[in-house]
Structure 1
Amino acid sequence: MTALGKHRTLFVTPTSNAFRLATPSLGLVRALQRAGHTVAFVKPVGDPATPVGEEDLSVHFARSLCNLTVPDPISLSLAEEMIRSDNISSLLEDIVALVEKVRGDAEIVVVEGILPFEDHNLIGDLDLAMGRSLAAEVIAVVSGQSGDLATIVDTVRDAAMHVKTAVRPLAGIMVPRLPDGVAAKDIAAALEKADLKVPVISASPVAKGHNARRLCDVVKDLGCSIRYKGGLDTARVEDVVVAARQPEHLVQLFKPGTLVVTPGDRSDVIMATALAQSSGMPIAGLMLTCGVPLSPKLDSFLGPRFSDLSILETKDQTFDVATKLAAMDRRVRVGDDRRMEELMDNTADHIDLAVLHLNDARDMSVHMTPPMFRHRLIQDASRAKASIVLPEGDEPRTLRAAIICTEKKIAHCILLAKPEDVEAVAERHGILLPSDLEIIDPASIRDKYIEPMVEMRKKKGLTSLQAEAQLEDTVVLGTMMLAAGDVQGLVSGAVHTTASTVRPALQLIKTAPGNSIVSSVFFMLMPDQVLVYGDCAINPDPDAEQLAEIAMQAADSAKAFGILPKVAMISYSTGTSGVGADVDKVREATAIVKAKCPDLIVDGPIQYDAATVESVNRQKAPGSPLDGHANVFIFPDLNTGNTTYKAVQRSADVVSIGPMLQGLRKPVNDLSRGALVDDIVYTIALTAIQSAAQAEAE
């Protein structure tokens, strides 16, 4: 499976809906590009504020101003529908897929979160879930508009608490819209005083003119008609003057970027505005209200003399126009490249990339999160193009899983069953069979494998009649197909016992070179990361040598699926604190693993809490290479392993994928008889990837 490698994912998340995230997230992109980093950008889910049919603001400017290839976001309505239908795991997989699609060779991916909105409560926790699923470094955007350091500190404290359950702690904050007199050092000092170890990545003031709306946006929002276009395409509104007084009092209020609002019959105000424009004052425009048009005589006088002045007309009353202008959305719009360029540059100018330690030589490999794991599982299985035989071909869950795998091209599934039986099951359950799903009648191929099976088992005295009888069992027949190289893997167990699946594999497939036993692992899809548990299905009471072999097999399996193994040899005792045969076995097994695999991170005997919790690890196992971050757990016996995996699975509502068998020459995998359709799909994918890894090794 594709390794995670060394890359950075920076997740920019809001702390309020006071402003969009386009400026801070793309300002960060701009700063990274300036510093010479290769950067990718993605916004996984569209904002509630994006008008229907309009391009997402951040995506638009990432494409037009940062010259990045950016996919369209998942629509907010679709995201909400997936959450509403309890399909958030698929949504998170789709989000991971979007991020991986744009990552390519980029050193850093900047991911923009979603603004919270009162009318969209379902997405309230999606930001945190995205950050966790991507194992990202979370950057919180905190408004500095108030200039109140105490308020900023409280907001940062809340944000730090909000993400503290994520794989990574809060990586830093960005504070836009700071008033004059407040600087990054002031915020950093206030955070330090409050004992908040959160770096200040940027603290940027609002530069003059950055909030100026385009006059053309005003026209669009208010539905004005245009009497004279003038400089409409370039004019910006920095201030609004409602002309209710005589011109001698108004002229003091005229400034660059002023929009003058007055009834259409106030010729004195109209003339004063026109004169101000002609004298060099860059008036943004003149808006005539109350449905009163420009008088014909004034119109004929102004037309040829003041062509640079934009004159607009509206039927609304002056008070209503002033109210609408005050309430108008001041945020940057799609197409306003100049303003967005200024905002991005202003943010980038105030970013301190040093606090992110981007040039450190440290290992930035991330935890494998469940959505990452599921996404990469399907992607890598599809690349393997393996043929997987399913001996329980007429079992409904297996049939549904085979159809999904066929449609998604996860693997070429072969159902061992009478075609008429499969068709009957499909009709009974309302399943539509795809034309390219292969179904093989066991009776049509059984004779082909009698002699090869006799040859393989001749030392055991197997006769042709005995082989023919055993091949009546579709699991045995499927195993012979695998042994003969006609398929690359086998998945069974939806209705058969583990013994029924494993025994033929041990007899006909046998162990891979360098392996003396077959063991199993489960992939436990915890909320924040994927853990590997072994052995929880095969070996009742392994001795020290066997336990060491299970640990090495499990570490290899973790690597094959993109997980950097940190192996904990689990016991009821940590280090030298306990004595007894059970602890001694684990201690001896750990020593064997260290001797045979000196580069493997492993420790034991160690208790589960000491292996997984930093504070407990420091107390119980100081100096342990696991540092409380174990991700591969080797249990001392089947009783402990099976009990633990089922307790975690059921109590914490955790998805477990497996058991995946290890140590065989070719991949055979067992299913739980309570397996869901998705469980079978993922097990087929696991098997396909195993087959590719074994083929590559050979």
Structure 2
Amino acid sequence: MAQSIFITSAEGHSGKSTIALGVLDALSRATPRVGVFRTIARSTVERDYVLEMLLEHAGVDLPYELCVGVTYDQVRADPEAALAVVVERFKAVEAQCDAVVVLGSDYTDVGSPAELAYNARIAANLGVPVLLVLGGRSQSGAVPEQLGTTIPRSPAEVGQIAALALGELAHERAQLLAVVVNRADADRLDEVVASVSAVVAAGAQDRPVWALPEDRMLVAPSVRGVMRALDARFVRGDQELLTREVLSVVIAGMSMVNVLPRLQDSAVVVIAADRADVLLATLLANASGTFPSLAAVVLNGPFELPDEIERLIDGLVSPLPILATDLGTYETATRVMGARGRLAADSQRRYDTALQLFEDHVDTAELVRLLGLARASVVTPLMFEYGLIERARADRRRIVLPEGDDDRILRAAATVLARGIADLTILGEEIEVRHRALELGIDIKAAQVLSPFDPVLVHRFAAEYAQLRAHKGVTYERAADTVTDVSYFGTMMVHSGLADGMVSGAAHTTAHTIRPAFEIIKTRPGVSVVSSVFLMALADRVLVYGDCAVIPDPTAVQLADIAVSSAATAEQFGIEPRVAMLSYSTGESGSGADVDKVREATALVRERAPELPVEGPIQYDAAADAAVAAAKLPGSAVAGRATVFVFPDLNTGNNTYKAVQRSAGAIAIGPVLQGLNRPINDLSRGALVDDIVNTIAITAIQAQEASA
């Protein structure tokens, strides 16, 4: 039976989805098959966006329809019958999972006390312990014009709500697992925990209590959320910026000179559609860089912009999103103020912030222990990625990212900083990089931003590079021109100790990324070539494939070097190395130049690393499949259980990793460069944000090892 947890709250707008995301993330690290189940949904027609968000989490593989119990209409019509359906449908999900995150209802149609009692009845009938979420903010008292702001409750008030809620749970005989106070007063977290802990102890229960502080970014709507609330049209601007959070609203119902001083960072400016002068002034102010950076403009009223104004706006080339609605000013302002943030549907920044907030304030190891979840023996891709992030966090390193003009790099940087994976230096002109981050609605304030034309560093790097390459006739003048290239500048930072590693290649070729490393960083002692591996995260294990990116046709000596380096990389990332030297022939069954090369390379590996389990030449099926291995190479310590696969050439390796990635659904992490004195890693130009985050974590771990 799955170990499950029922998340419910005593009222609406407690931020229960933030807690559910954090719990799901923690469980996904401990066990491979995690499910999600929503007990009561608003409708069978309109999909529940919180459930959709959780089902999109990398550790969950269940269809939406399976994960919904009943609707509010069914509960109102016959509560007992609805309860029976919920239990039946939950059991179907539970049968497919090791752990299930169960979401209570969202306080939509019935009174809070009755709804909490019904949630408690469901939990008791499911036999699932309750994680009770209490709201640390009042549900009224929002600050005018400041979206997402409410009044914090005192510790005593939170304690009173806890007493009422715990009474309801006890009355329905629901088992309490723990209590989380969400959106609590950041200055009084300890007092809030103490107040609720006293209430829990008074009920003769020894259960943990945690408190998360209010983070305005989690409840502020995005520009897309405002557009949804207004049912507005997207008129123009950069649609990438629709994810930006909206922190305030400015009603531009006055003259241009009076509107400009009232502009605020991350504000939506509501402008009557017939006030073209105010619209143009607002766009110019936002583009100038001397006024606050706005989130969007909303044009209200049933008016079309004149053609002449459209032409003027075209000339501005402003990325600021402009939305349009036919609503009046009052209705527009009311709807904007009533818009609420959706946790992950609209914003990666909000998603990252929620996860880090949960990790910072909830003892996830204790939570997993309370649920009785043992660490699984298999390693899923998600569990492997978590392991990388945890190792990188344990000893943070500084990684330089040369491509500060790429939005993917900036988004990945924001995630890395929010999750505490590494310290970052981003190359680019600071005002441009930070302005673009503001437009994207991401937070990179903690990153260092350096210009590759910084005169002090250019002089320092040029003198050093000229000395390193003097034997090639490189003069200071030529060196000064060379080191302003971002790949050379970033590599010189690593060489000079200003950064521990570099990740590049999202917008540059592999050659452009690694050529400076060959010239400046050079290979480690005892290593003749720089090669690469991909960490192939399959459904239940991680394999190492090398070389799939650097050396087109390695010699026997180079192939042996690749094997030894790949085994060391495997060990570095917690994979026990058992090396298969791949060929089209297994054992002594074949001959020819290609097979002989692999046979010679295998002998060299055994000579260089006699303690390393290695087999070759060997075919892929004999290396990976125990049944085939028993027939072709019985008694081999590697055949059938290889973890490191060394390909005879780049053509074979590159095609094989891509075939496995696409056909088997494996996650390919890499290429990870190996053999360099300091870690430099290349990205695919099609890299996704998650790929970049993983590569930064890997580079940070390599940097830890390099300095050990």
- TM-score normalized by the length of structure 2: 0.51
How far is 1:76 from its partner?
A: 5.2
Query: In the superposition, relative to structure 1, how do residues 468 and 77 fare at CA in structure 2: closer, same or farther (>3 Å)?
Result: farther
Moved over 6 A (4+): 50-53
Residue matched to 1:431: 441
Preserved CA contact (<8 Å) 1:84 1:122? no
Preserved CA contact (<8 Å) 2:629 2:640? yes
Query: In the superposition, relative to structure 1, how do residues 514 and 125 fare at CA in structure 2: closer, same or farther (>3 Å)?
Result: farther
2:432 maps to a residue whose letter is D
- Local SS of the residue matching 1:388: strand
Query: In the superposition, relative to structure 1, how do residues 376 and 220 fare at CA in structure 2: closer, same or farther (>3 Å)?
Result: closer
Residue matched to 1:609: 621
1:46 and 2:15 matched: no
- Distance across 2 between alignment mates of 1:644 and 1:420: 43
Preserved CA contact (<8 Å) 2:36 2:51? no
Query: In the superposition, relative to structure 1, how do residues 665 and 129 fare at CA in structure 2: closer, same or farther (>3 Å)?
Result: farther
Residue matched to 1:5: none
Residue matched to 2:220: none
How far is 1:555 from its partner?
A: 0.5
Preserved CA contact (<8 Å) 1:391 1:416? yes
1:452 and 2:464 matched: yes
Residue matched to 1:381: 392
- Distance across 1 between alignment mates of 2:572 and 2:86: 39
How far is 1:84 from its partner?
A: 5.4
How far is 1:432 from its partner?
A: 2.5
Q: Report sequence identity in percent.
A: 45
Residue matched to 1:394: 405
Preserved CA contact (<8 Å) 2:417 2:447? yes
Residue matched to 2:592: 580
1:531 and 2:543 matched: yes
1:441 maps to a residue whose letter is S
- Distance across 2 between alignment mates of 1:647 and 1:535: 15
Residue matched to 1:495: 507
Q: Which runs of 5+ in 1 are unaligned?
A: 1-12, 15-42, 54-69, 93-114, 131-215, 223-363
1:687 to 689, 694, 699: 699
Q: CA RMSD in A?
A: 3.5
Preserved CA contact (<8 Å) 1:116 1:124? no
- Distance across 1 between alignment mates of 2:92 and 2:483: 53
1:592 and 2:551 matched: no
1:300-449 → structure 2 map (5 Å cutoff): 366=377, 368-428=379-439, 430-444=440-454, 445-449=457-461
- Local SS of the residue matching 2:484: coil
Deviations 1:102-135 (A, max 9, x none): xxxxxxxxxxxxx9953348845752699xxxxx
How far is 1:376 from its partner?
A: 1.3
Residue matched to 1:551: 563
Which is further off, 547-556 or 117-126?
Answer: 117-126
1:119 to 64, 82, 89: 89
2:684 to 662, 665, 672: 672
1:532 maps to a residue whose letter is V
Query: In the superposition, relative to structure 1, how do residues 127 and 85 fare at CA in structure 2: closer, same or farther (>3 Å)?
Result: closer
1:654 maps to a residue whose letter is A
- Distance across 2 between alignment mates of 1:634 and 1:125: 40
Preserved CA contact (<8 Å) 1:660 1:669? yes
Q: Which runs of 5+ in 2 are unaligned?
A: 11-29, 40-47, 62-84, 101-166, 174-374
How far is 1:568 from its partner?
A: 1.0
Relative contact order (C-alpha < 8 Å, sep 6+): which is higher?
A: 1
2:449 maps to a residue whose letter is I
Preserved CA contact (<8 Å) 2:37 2:90? no
1:447-486 → structure 2 map (5 Å cutoff): 447-486=459-498
Residue matched to 1:283: none
1:157-196 → structure 2 map (5 Å cutoff): none
Between the two proteins, the alignment pairs up a number of residues equal to 389
Query: In the superposition, relative to structure 1, how do residues 605 and 482 fare at CA in structure 2: closer, same or farther (>3 Å)?
Result: same
Preserved CA contact (<8 Å) 1:660 1:670? yes
How far is 1:420 from its partner?
A: 2.3
- Distance across 1 between alignment mates of 2:505 and 2:383: 26
Residue matched to 1:313: none
- Local SS of the residue matching 2:88: coil
1:561 and 2:561 matched: no
Query: In the superposition, relative to structure 1, how do residues 117 and 468 fare at CA in structure 2: closer, same or farther (>3 Å)?
Result: farther
- Distance across 1 between alignment mates of 2:694 and 2:397: 14
1:119 maps to a residue whose letter is R
1:264-283 → structure 2 map (5 Å cutoff): none
Query: In the superposition, relative to structure 1, how do residues 220 and 692 fare at CA in structure 2: closer, same or farther (>3 Å)?
Result: closer
Deviations 1:2-29 (A, max 9, x none): xxxxxxxxxxx46xxxxxxxxxxxxxxx
- Local SS of the residue matching 2:405: coil
Preserved CA contact (<8 Å) 1:83 1:122? no
How far is 1:593 from its partner?
A: 1.1
- Distance across 2 between alignment mates of 1:125 and 1:679: 32
Which is further off, 460-469 or 659-668?
Answer: 460-469
Query: In the superposition, relative to structure 1, how do residues 81 and 118 fare at CA in structure 2: closer, same or farther (>3 Å)?
Result: farther
Query: In the superposition, relative to structure 1, how do residues 588 and 75 fare at CA in structure 2: closer, same or farther (>3 Å)?
Result: same
Residue matched to 1:20: none
Query: In the superposition, relative to structure 1, how do residues 669 and 220 fare at CA in structure 2: closer, same or farther (>3 Å)?
Result: closer
Preserved CA contact (<8 Å) 2:536 2:667? yes
- Distance across 2 between alignment mates of 1:660 and 1:501: 13
- Local SS of the residue matching 1:540: coil
How far is 1:372 from its partner?
A: 2.8
Residue matched to 1:88: 57
Query: In the superposition, relative to structure 1, how do residues 537 and 51 fare at CA in structure 2: closer, same or farther (>3 Å)?
Result: closer
Residue matched to 1:646: 658
Query: In the superposition, relative to structure 1, how do residues 609 and 393 fare at CA in structure 2: closer, same or farther (>3 Å)?
Result: same
Deviations 1:340-394 (A, max 9, x none): xxxxxxxxxxxxxxxxxxxxxxxx9955432331111001111221110001012
Preserved CA contact (<8 Å) 2:670 2:683? yes
- Local SS of the residue matching 2:89: coil
- Distance across 2 between alignment mates of 1:220 and 1:616: 60
- Distance across 2 between alignment mates of 1:426 and 1:84: 24
- TM-score normalized by the length of structure 1: 0.52
How far is 1:461 from its partner?
A: 1.3
2:89 maps to a residue whose letter is D
- Distance across 2 between alignment mates of 1:652 and 1:125: 24
1:46 maps to a residue whose letter is I
Preserved CA contact (<8 Å) 1:46 1:76? no
Residue matched to 1:351: none
Which is further off, 681-690 or 585-594?
Answer: 585-594
2:433 maps to a residue whose letter is V
How far is 1:424 from its partner?
A: 4.0
Preserved CA contact (<8 Å) 1:368 1:563? no
Residue matched to 1:6: none
- Distance across 2 between alignment mates of 1:591 and 1:82: 55
Query: In the superposition, relative to structure 1, how do residues 610 and 425 fare at CA in structure 2: closer, same or farther (>3 Å)?
Result: same
- Local SS of the residue matching 2:621: helix
Query: In the superposition, relative to structure 1, how do residues 125 and 596 fare at CA in structure 2: closer, same or farther (>3 Å)?
Result: farther
Preserved CA contact (<8 Å) 2:400 2:501? yes
How far is 1:525 from its partner?
A: 1.1
2:418 maps to a residue whose letter is E
Preserved CA contact (<8 Å) 2:535 2:544? yes
- Distance across 1 between alignment mates of 2:683 and 2:383: 22
Residue matched to 1:629: 641
How far is 1:435 from its partner?
A: 2.3
- Distance across 1 between alignment mates of 2:92 and 2:428: 44
- Distance across 2 between alignment mates of 1:544 and 1:488: 32
Preserved CA contact (<8 Å) 2:581 2:648? yes
